[in-house]
Amino acid sequence: MLFKTWIWVLFELTIVFILLSLPASNFHASSNWFGNFPIDKLVHICLFGSLSFSILVHFEKSKFTKLKTVRAHAYVLIFCTLYGIVMEYYQKYYVPSRGFDVNDMLADALGAIIALPILYHFRKRNLSNK
């Protein structure tokens, strides 16, 4: 089971990298949902929420209790946030027509943070079913 979750984490990292490597010309700039909330930010929230969730689940399935601690969960959030920052620099310097956007970094961090209560919800639900 741990191998499957590791593959999931690697898949998530790859998907985030590929999607954030696409040139901006592949997207519609005027795509807005919920009034002034741009779909781009929703995509960042979902991508990094899913990435964070996959790592957290991988840690939960591990036999090492240190990976199930609050500290380990904080490291996951820090890693995902730093990955988002690194991807913004990557976009600025290496992806045509893409730039550096602080709001994207905030959306990445928000997505990573949102994964925690979702994980805790599933953990609580699984414990009550046992």
- Give residue 13's identity as a one-letter amino acid code: L
Rounded Cα–Cα distance for residues 22 and 94 (Å): 10
% of the chain with per-residue pLDDT over 90: 71
pTM (two decimals):
0.87
CA dihedral 36, 111, 81, 41 (to 10 degrees): -20
Q: Residue 32's beta-bridge partner residues?
A: 38
Residue 32: how many CA atoms within 13 Å on its side-chain side?
5
Q: What is the pLDDT of residues 41-86, one digit of tens each?
A: 999 999 999 999 999 999 999 999 999 999 999 999 999 999 999 9
Place of tokens 């994980």: 119
